Amino acid sequence: MIPSTDYIRLLPELILIVFGLLVMLIEPLLGEHNNRKGLGAIALMGAVLSILASFYQTGYEGAAFFDMIHVDTFSIFFHVLIGLIAAVVILASFEYLNLQQIRYGEYYGLILLSSVGMMLMSSAVELVLIFIALEISSIGTYILAGFRRNAPISIESSMKYFLLGSFATAFFLYGVALMFGATGSTSVYTIATTLAQGATPLAYVGIALMFVGLGFKVASAPFHIWTPDVYEGAPAPVVAFMSTGPKAAAFAVLLRVLFATEAPGWFWLIWASAVLSMTLGNIGALVQNNVKRLLAYSSIAQAGYILVAFAAAKDIGISAVIFYAAAYAAMNVGAFAVASHLANVGEKYVTLDDYAGLGRRAPGLAAVLTIFMLSLIGIPVTGGFLAKFYVFQAAMQSHLTGLVIIGVINSAVAAYYYLRVIVYMYMREPQRDVPVLKMPFALGVSLAACLAATIYLGVLPGRILDYAMASARVLVR
């Protein structure tokens, strides 16, 4: 018998599955010419209910389904984060789908169902389940990337993401298999006790291969090559989703795999990957003229900063990762939501030249984007600043001076291309006539949410930080 508390520990996922199916089932029942905007509201309701269910879980911490998932402060944090990302992206998609003539039912269904995978990734403590959850989240995003059916670039993006992503997943699976060979178990906690008695070379290879697979999912160098092409072609709200949700989930898995198992020998892997990601990401972004590509390179660099915190000592490093994941989600979803609104029909206006003079044509939108850019640079009063601050502080306390120096130099380089966007918006004359659509209400709400979260994390980080610290302690206990 499965006790009923087990279902409560799975409640957010169950709600998302139910609503995902509901959206798909209702769509064909609506007539050919009926208004389909209600579907978005149903999907939004599903996401919000799953967030509430995650909060409800605080009273029901513990393992469920024969030690497959583990509900603790760590998993609840990521459940809420992923739920919020899904909700904001659904809001931002209301007008976009209409504009680009994308079918509603499958779109919302896929967003909800791939969120199921991401949420499970953050609570799973069994490598088999982690793998299946990873596949759910990945396959969902592969398909979402190709949703602009009449744009060849979108199909190309989906195809590239699918081929390279499957390749990377195979690495992860191979790593899991070798880990099973080395320890005789796929449960994170059993692996931890076995590894504590001494690790064989097999365990090292297993960890390295798992890192390759997860490194691809978080777009860290040298597994980042796919990122700009995929982000450029995929629909902008989908990019907002897949550059934050699956990434946060993959970082959660990486935290579990590396820290809960007390795995050996990953330090220099992470160190090298962090340095490469920061450097290649920032240098790549310097020469970009397409805003979506620019943000793609920026997200590679941001993954590098997060990896710096991995290399740092346990508790503070983990809490810095968690805090950074939240701040990054807020500012990145916001930036892509603005880009999706400006892109217009067929995503025609995505170059920096199209952003010229935006400060006069759409002052509100330009101001919002400016704040997200400042946060991505790491200017005080924004979440991005404190996130970077905690990451580098954690690295300093662990005596990783070299890594901190490289990181700070990179942050300075990064300021150039983020500021370039702001300079274009406020100080350049528009080259051609770029229409700016009226701001739809739903998108306004989603932008306001991102903005509020960015500022809140920058001004009053205390509660989130305490929570991140508590999660970190749960993880390494």
Partner 1 sequence: MLHLALFLIFGVIAVVGAINLIAQTHPINSALSLVVVMGSLAAEYLLLGAEFLGAIQVIVYAGAIMVLFVFTIMLLNAGAEEQTRGSKVAIIIGIPGMVIGSVAVAWALIRAHTGAEVPVGSLYGSAQGIGHLLFRDFLLPFEITSVLILIAIMGAVVLARRES
278 binds partner 1 (CB under 8 A): no
Q: Does 140 bind partner 1 (CB under 8 A)?
A: yes
The secondary structure of the chain, three-state, reads CCCHHHHHCCHHHHHHHHHHHHHHHHHHHCCCCCCCHHHHHHHHHHHHHHHHHHHHHHHCCEEECCCCEEECHHHHHHHHHHHHHHHHHHHHHHHHHHHHCCCHHHHHHHHHHHHHHHHHHHHECEHHHHHHHHHHHHHHHHHHHCCCCCCHHHHHHHHHHHHHHHHHHHHHHHHHHHHHHHHCCCEHHHHHHHHHCCCCHHHHHHHHHHHHHHHHHCCCCCCCCCHHHHHHHCCHHHHHHHCCHHHHHHHHHHHHHHHHCCCCCCHHHHHHHHHHHHHHHHHHHHCCCEHHHHHHHHHHHHHHHHHHHHHCCHHHHHHHHHHHHHHHHHHHHHHHHHHHHHHCHHHCCCEHHHHCCHHHHCHHHHHHHHHHHHHHHCCCCCHHHHHHHHHHHHHHHCCCHHHHHHHHHHHHHHHHHHHHHHHHHHHCCCCCCCCCCCCCHHHHHHHHHHHHHHHHHHHCCHHHHHHHHHHHHHHHC
Q: Contact between 205 and partner 1 (CB under 8 A)?
A: yes
Considering the rule CB under 8 A, would residue 149 count as an interface residue with partner 1? yes
Contact flag: residue 416 with partner 1 (CB under 8 A): no
Kindly state whether residue 75 participates in binding partner 1, applying the rule CB under 8 A.
Answer: no
Nearer to partner 1, 135 or 353 (CB): 135
**Stretch near partner 1 under the rule CB under 8 A, chosen from 51-59, 64-72, 423-431, 444-452:** 64-72
Residue range at the interface with partner 1 (CB under 8 A); choices 197-205, 262-270, 368-376, 394-402? 197-205
According to the binding rule CB under 8 A, does residue 126 interact with partner 1? yes
Query: Which of 147, 241, 355, 385 lies at the binding interface for partner 1 (CB under 8 A)?
Result: 147
* Closest CB to partner 1 among residues 51, 120: 120
Q: Is 417 in the site for partner 1 (CB under 8 A)?
A: no
182 binds partner 1 (CB under 8 A): yes
Stretch that binds partner 1, among 39-47, 113-121, 370-378, 423-431 (CB under 8 A): 113-121
**CB closer to partner 1 out of 133 and 391:** 133
Give min distance, CB of 160 to partner 1, in A: 14
Query: Quick check: 91 binds partner 1 (CB under 8 A)?
Result: no
Q: Is 354 in the site for partner 1 (CB under 8 A)?
A: no
Q: Site size for partner 1, by CB under 8 A?
A: 43
Considering only the stretches 147-155, 291-299, 376-384, 451-459, report the one whose residues sit in contact with partner 1 under the rule CB under 8 A. Answer: 147-155
**Binding-site ranges for partner 1 (CB under 8 A):** 2, 10, 17, 24, 65-66, 68-69, 103, 106, 109-110, 113-114, 116-117, 120, 126, 128-129, 132-133, 135-136, 139-140, 142-143, 146-147, 149-150, 158, 178, 181-184, 200-202, 204-205
